[in-house]
Amino acid sequence: MIANRTLIGNKCSHVIAAYAELAGVSLREAFDLFYQSNLYSEITSGISDMHCRSDGYLAEELLMEVNAKKRAAGEGTP
């Protein structure tokens, strides 16, 4: 399914805010991490209708992705 750009934009802003609260980071850091993530690509590409999932679920997915990247880079988890 191809989602409306406005819907995607709103979804992204809600996920960023949810992630910032969940991870205890600033909105700016959450913004940067989100737009560099695979999750962002999946949402904007329409993969698995990710934009239909809840903001909280997507924030947790982003947290897992960020932690996995940090472990792979040898940084550990926050």
Please give the residue range of the domain that contains residue 34.
Answer: 5-70
**Residue 29 is assigned to a structural domain of this protein:** yes
38 part of a folded domain: yes
Kindly report the CA angle at 40 between 46 and 51, in degrees rounded to 5?
45
Total domain count, the chain: 1
Which strand (E) or helix (H) includes residue 58? helix 55-72
**pLDDT value for 78:** 52
**What's the DSSP call for residue 3?**
P
Do 14 and 42 touch, CB atoms closer than 8 A? no
Domain-embedded: residue 28: yes
> For the whole model, what pTM was predicted?
0.86
Q: Is residue 78 part of a domain?
A: no
pLDDT (tens digit per residue) in 1-41 = 456 888 889 999 999 999 999 999 999 999 999 999 999 99
